[in-house]
Structure 1
């Protein structure tokens, strides 16, 4: 389930698209979060201490089940996407003295709140470690995910917890990090290698699978592309990588979004009679224009593309509600139970949705028990 693609058709132009695949509808909602909000990590140390921060940047996000942030774009053009990784194993305690736990439910929001680049995100995890709990639609199952991050320069990072330790895969230069003090493992790849990710297996194994398919297509380069045909996540990774490499350069926004949408649609999973963690149906797709700060959303339950322009949000409307230290209100786009927008007359609509944003109390992020 789930596929994420980064497309950089020209300098200073970058887009991120993703499919959210899940066995049940996660009841997605679109929110616009204001800056200067005080948040806490929703997890405490053994001594009862909790990491806290104040958001630097505004963001437009997708919430799932009303308890977590799974996708989003901030006012600096940084995009985040949370995808399933069943092999994840999280630490029981801090990887180094002074580290604080953080609930997975707020992990993506933390990155959007305080980071403007992929490199910032790598540094932001130095004193943080992620903890998880059961998922809302299946109390017997732990939420196990990896997080992808992309900035407006087309840089990327993937954060995975393997054997209780955070592995970071990225194309950015991290030579300024003191390896003696930094508790996480960093592996470097090229920008081209970092463009696509899916679910299992872990990310470096996904990249390793390209050696076989790239060599095969080099041998038969004069014929049609040879690609895996299953709907398993590794097959989707290979196909999405191939088609992303075929996307044209130096194109306008509408053509760039159309091309990215075609790749994302190719990796989508329709409803089937039997589903498991790796074969769940696509529930929605999202697209972030990181240069223009526009966030596009399409539910799988309707052909209607909607979007929010983060540059055209008037945060002054929240001032009356957000007086004092505790700022609890944000803008919400109310979607129906299928994740589709309807106006007051129940007409299905597409297009820019800024005019329909309503001031609402922020949803509560799921804490670690």
Structure 2
């Protein structure tokens, strides 16, 4: 697999005609890690930002009507699959899982340049990018095979972000497949393969891989791990920790192991502002199990960890959407019974 692929090359790869090559397995910042070589596969994520977005967990039943929320030729669809998502500002799907075990994470990438708008293609606002995939697809390969169905559009996100935000997405599924999608110089760039397990922020993904290969654990000469909070440093540290994370078939221990990794790449409150786009503290950490549909959340403003068993939620067509504010200090343990009816914007 080439380190980066155009949309056409990615589709060719799925068809079995793509080439293959070996790669080893901050205005804002985030980190995403996919532990897909363990019996219990887990996706970990940190959300780092200058402030909290009052994030809420939303349980969204299948059969919901959606609109792409762009002014010209917005995409229209009905959700094929139910999903459990964390939304910021009650409108931006930051991450989530659907009932088939597809997991999508949305992260900041300074330097993103979305495609020039083609009004012949149905558009979706960038903040619905993950939700579209969760609503419609069951696997990474399905997502990649259908990239041309819609166009991601950079639009205002409320009054706070009138020029939108530069972002990229990571996709994982219950089979262990993984993909990273970025928009570089106005074109989609796709990295697809089980070895694409770590993602942070800038620089672009091919440069992150090139930097990783400078370290001795991946064939380079640098023999000291970086200890800083910048995106490239967190990328190397996450990849290193994942390489040696003790494997286990115990679900509780696996979640604990994964949370220890995400703690290692979290950004403490009070860390100095620095870097290309700045570095800000971690507000929450999440771990998603695409097989069991268990969703763990640990915020950094409360000492609690809670989780949701997605299969315990009523997500049949016609069921009401339900919400759970993640910063509620009383949340502890399994919380599927704590959701309340709500009207989502996602």
Provide the residue aligned with 1:353 in structure 2. Answer: 335
CA distance in 1, matches of 2:235, 2:159: 26
Change (3 A) 1:91 1:292: same
Change (3 A) 1:160 1:219: closer
CA distance in 2, matches of 1:293, 1:152: 10
Deviation, 1:22, is: 0.2
Matches within 5 A, 1:306-325: 306-315=306-315, 319=318
CA distance in 2, matches of 1:245, 1:120: 28
Provide the residue aligned with 1:162 in structure 2. Answer: 184
Provide the residue aligned with 2:15 in structure 1. Answer: none
Provide the residue aligned with 1:8 in structure 2. Answer: 36
**In 2, are the aligned partners of 1:103 and 1:132 still within 8 Å (CA)?**
yes
Change (3 A) 1:75 1:215: closer
Q: 121-130 vs 303-312, which deviates more?
A: 121-130
Provide the residue aligned with 2:3 in structure 1. Answer: none
Show structure 1 runs of 5+ residues with no match. 172-190, 323-328, 343-347
**In 1, are the aligned partners of 2:215 and 2:221 still within 8 Å (CA)?**
no
Q: 269-278 vs 199-208, which deviates more?
A: 269-278
**1:243 to 2:241 alignment:** yes
SS of equivalent to 1:102: strand
**In 2, are the aligned partners of 1:44 and 1:100 still within 8 Å (CA)?**
no
SS of equivalent to 1:260: helix
CA offsets per residue over residues 111-140 of structure 1, 9 Å max, x none? 000111000111232132211134447446
**In 1, are the aligned partners of 2:31 and 2:198 still within 8 Å (CA)?**
yes
Provide the residue aligned with 2:216 in structure 1. Answer: 214
Matches within 5 A, 1:33-112: 33-45=60-72, 49-94=73-118, 98-112=120-134
CA distance in 2, matches of 1:91, 1:9: 34
Deviation, 1:214, is: 3.1
Change (3 A) 1:80 1:216: closer
Provide the residue aligned with 1:268 in structure 2. Answer: 266
CA distance in 2, matches of 1:5, 1:110: 21
Larger radius of gyration: 1
Change (3 A) 1:280 1:214: same
**In 2, are the aligned partners of 1:287 and 1:296 still within 8 Å (CA)?**
yes
CA distance in 2, matches of 1:34, 1:216: 43
Give the alignment's Cα RMSD to 1 decimal: 2.1
Q: 2:52 aligns with which of 25, 32, 39?
A: 25
CA distance in 1, matches of 2:155, 2:200: 22
CA offsets per residue over residues 88-117 of structure 1, 9 Å max, x none? 0112322xx842221011111010001110
Q: 99-108 vs 234-243, which deviates more?
A: 99-108
**In 2, are the aligned partners of 1:309 and 1:354 still within 8 Å (CA)?**
yes
**In 1, are the aligned partners of 2:155 and 2:162 still within 8 Å (CA)?**
no
Show structure 2 runs of 5+ residues with no match. 1-28
Change (3 A) 1:360 1:39: same
Change (3 A) 1:69 1:216: closer
Deviation, 1:235, is: 0.4
CA distance in 2, matches of 1:201, 1:261: 25
Deviation, 1:141, is: 5.1
Change (3 A) 1:273 1:293: closer
Q: 71-80 vs 125-134, which deviates more?
A: 125-134
TM-score, normalising length from structure 2? 0.85
**1:341 to 2:332 alignment:** no
CA offsets per residue over residues 275-302 of structure 1, 9 Å max, x none? 3644111011111011100111111101
**In 1, are the aligned partners of 2:54 and 2:327 still within 8 Å (CA)?**
no
TM-score, normalising length from structure 1? 0.80
Q: 1:227 aligns with which of 225, 233, 245?
A: 225
